[in-house]
Amino acid sequence: MKKILLFLLLFISINKVYAIDLAKNSKSTVLMEASTGEIIYKNNENERLAPASMTKMMSLIIIMEQIEKGYLKLDEKVKTSENAASMGGSQIYLEVGEEMSVDDLIKGICMASGNDAVVSLAEKIAGTEEQFVDMMNSKARELKLKNTNFKNSTGLDEEDHYSSALDMALIAKELVRHQKVLDYSSNYEDYLRKNTNKKFWLVNTNKLIKTYDGMDGLKTGYTSKAGYCLTATAKKNNMRLIGVVMNESSSKIRNSEMSSLLDYGFNLYKVNNLVKKEVLFLNIVILRVLK
């Protein structure tokens, strides 16, 4: 038992040295084990930064809760308002008066990061986007997020709209509890407006869905203020990790650093549902040393 423990502690200490250089271009970084919320790696995790479209993870929490409570149905049609259709940035090009199902709108949010899609659902749920944002901030308080404030549902740059890598990881941890959302975020490509002359091809903005084993979400983001951001989640060997990088200089660097961050976690840490006291003790030791 002592020899095994010594080996594990040595292994962890060696990898902690390597961890210093993880995601070195990211301004705020977190790697979390999803079921426990244990932090495996962190750097400037509480710095308040523009979160760009990672904001939509909180919007999706509200949306999924409304569906689970029966207030919103996946096959329900939502009519596009002039306000929703006017959203710039990433969009699925909704037209004023166009009706689209809740199911397809969620696809548009999770895969294409559609600002028009999320505002349409925000207005459907709360009447106005402003009232929906109140729901988002109420949920942030419920989750005890200390460095988050939302001014919109999209993540477009706006004064006093901010979050941190730690808060984004906690939002992601809450979102993956609604497992249905992973059915959308794990798809690399799909179509909207099928069987019409306006068929629209969706390609996931998270390219790691196609290249990183076990990746099934969650949300990319980019604005001139926020830089390139990503909250990603992957599951291997009965363990789900959540990684967050913020304010990266390019999508290529963002994806590379996220892959290295997740590799580090999967190589170092293992979750076992075992009853043997010795094994349980070793898992607890690993968690504590990593803090």
Query: How high is the pLDDT of residue 269?
Result: 86
Q: Is 164 tagged catalytic?
A: no
Amino acid at 246: M
Could you list the pLDDT tens digit for every one of the 291 residues in the chain?
433 333 343 344 434 434 456 888 999 999 999 999 999 999 999 999 999 999 999 999 999 999 999 999 999 999 999 999 999 899 999 999 999 999 999 999 999 999 999 999 999 999 999 999 999 999 999 999 999 999 999 999 999 999 999 999 999 999 999 999 999 999 999 999 998 989 999 999 999 999 999 999 999 999 999 999 999 999 998 899 999 999 999 999 999 999 999 999 999 888 765 444 444 444 444 454 444
Determine the Cα–Cα distance for residues 215 and 250; give it in Å rounded to an integer. 20
Q: Is 90 tagged catalytic?
A: no
Domain ranges across the chain: 2-290
Per CATH, the homologous superfamily of domain 2-290 is: DD-peptidase/beta-lactamase superfamily (3.40.710.10)
Write down the catalytic residue from 113, 120, 153, 164.
113
Q: Where are the alpha helices (DSSP H) in 186-272?
A: 208-211, 251-268
Nearest to 31 by CA among 281, 251, 245: 245
The secondary structure of 252-289 as a DSSP string is HHHHHHHHHHHHHHHHH--------HHHHHHHHHHHHH
Query: How high is the pLDDT of residue 23?
Result: 87
Residues near 240 by beta carbon (within 8 Å), at least 6 away in sequence: 33, 34, 35, 176, 233, 234
Q: Is 139 tagged catalytic?
A: no
Determine the Cα–Cα distance for residues 98 and 114; give it in Å rounded to an integer. 15
Write down the catalytic residue from 26, 28, 53, 164.
53
Query: How high is the pLDDT of residue 88?
Result: 86
Query: How high is the pLDDT of residue 125?
Result: 98
